Amino acid sequence: LKISYANLIADLCERLGGNVEEVTHAMGMDPRIGPQFLNAGLGFGGFCLPKDIQAFLHLAESHGVDFSLLREAEAVNKRRIDQFIEKVREALWIVKEKRIGVLGLAFKPNTDDIRFAPAIEVIRRLVAERASVRVSDPVAIDRARKVLTGVEFMADPYQVARGADALLLLTEWKEYKALDWKRVAKEMSRPLILDARNMLSPVQMQGLGFEYYSFGRPGLQPLVPA
């Protein structure tokens, strides 16, 4: 619920020119809420949360309790992928035959678990639109090879960036935050980053010459009229 709420706040911030990080920081200062699980982005995945939501909904409905609140939280989470793909389309205009690099395959950092990982679905959508996709992850490549086709797997993130028209950050690995981003910009055909996890600083990335897009932070996406 908190993750999906933060994502809806991010959507509102994009409409109004607000900064979701300022809003969620203020929310998290209330000890009754706390700062955990208030990070806007591509949404949650993995095996446990999606499975447990379904189990909880079944339990509630089988006992006559309308738990539509949780169903809507699940729906918000699923829409994040659609919204991110739309950001990619808006930034690139045409996805077909564009060279797109992807950093991050696991559903969260510090695991090789790709079950219900949003990154996997994003990549499948890009391949379906006939983009040329290169991918990397510190530990999840071997598992991803079993479920992804039509992509190039690379261990070196700088190779993923080489000649790319866009670079997508889909898992918030600390290794990616520590990259030499000046080098990344030089490697890319077009210095365009779509940060699905809000892990980088907009000011720093724009200062390095990147076109930079994320979720719910000001000055990064064109405002939609209310």
> Closest by alpha carbon to 122, among 164, 83, 152?
83
Task: Tell me the C-alpha distance between 11 and 43, whole Å.
Answer: 13
> Closest by alpha carbon to 10, among 48, 40, 47, 52?
40
Assess whether 48 carries a catalytic annotation.
yes
Query: Do residues 65 and 107 touch, judged by C-beta distance below 8 A?
Result: no
Query: Do residues 9 and 45 touch, judged by C-beta distance below 8 A?
Result: no
Give CA separation, 197 vs 45, 51, 130, 152, in Å.
13, 22, 24, 22
Q: Which of 48, 59, 155, 203 is catalytic?
A: 48
Q: Determine the Cα angle at 44 with ends 39 and 16, to 5°.
A: 45
Place of tokens 């089988």: 62
Residue 221, phi then psi, degrees to nearest 5: -125, 150
- Known catalytic residues? 48
